[in-house]
């Protein structure tokens, strides 16, 4: 029991330490990030490029939201089907109980 608590604490701290290294880049460094990856020292992105980048990020976020919505709808449909099946089984068991089967 004591070992499992210790193992849990070690795993928790390790996870927190790993996640701290996975922080996303902030909006303030987007331009620097793009310029660094472009490879031109001191390059600046134009307003049009920044707007295009912003549009692409928005479209990506919309795609992710749509995929999540589809997953939630599928999950809801499965849960509704399972609930309907359970209700039918309960109804059959009630009828069987009435007739003493």
Over 80: is that where the pLDDT of 81 sits? yes
Q: What confidence score (pLDDT) does residue 15 get? A: 67
pTM value > 0.85: no
Whether the pLDDT of residue 98 is over 50: the answer is: yes
Quick check: 31 and 50 in contact, CB under 8 A?
yes
Position 25 scores a pLDDT of 47
Q: What mean pLDDT is reported for the chain?
A: 77
DSSP track, the chain: -HHHHHHHHHHHHHHHHHHHTTPPPPGGGHHHHHHHHHT-TT----HHHHHHHHHHHHHHHHHHHHHHHHHHHHHHHHHHHHHHHHHHHHHHHHHHHHHT-
Q: Residue 24 has which token pair?
A: 């996303």
Q: Within a 13 Å sphere around the CA of 21, how many CA atoms are in the beta-carbon half?
A: 5
- % residues pLDDT > 90 (the chain): 34
Write down the residue that tokens 């600046």 correspond to.
44
Where is pLDDT greater, at 91 or 31? 91
Model pLDDT for residues 20-52, shown as the tens digit of each residue: 555 454 555 666 666 666 655 555 778 888 899
């Amino acid at each position: 029991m004591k070992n499992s608590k210790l193992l849990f604490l070690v795993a928790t701290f390790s996870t927190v330490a790993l996640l701290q290294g996975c922080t996303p880049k902030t909006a303030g460094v987007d331009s620097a990030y793009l310029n660094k990856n472009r490879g031109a020292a001191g390059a600046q992105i134009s307003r049009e490029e920044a707007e295009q980048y912003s549009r692409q990020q928005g479209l990506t976020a919309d795609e992710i939201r749509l995929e999540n919505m589809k997953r939630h709808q599928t999950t809801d449909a499965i849960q509704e089907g399972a609930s309907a099946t359970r209700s039918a089984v309960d109804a059959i068991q009630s009828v069987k109980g009435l007739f003493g089967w």
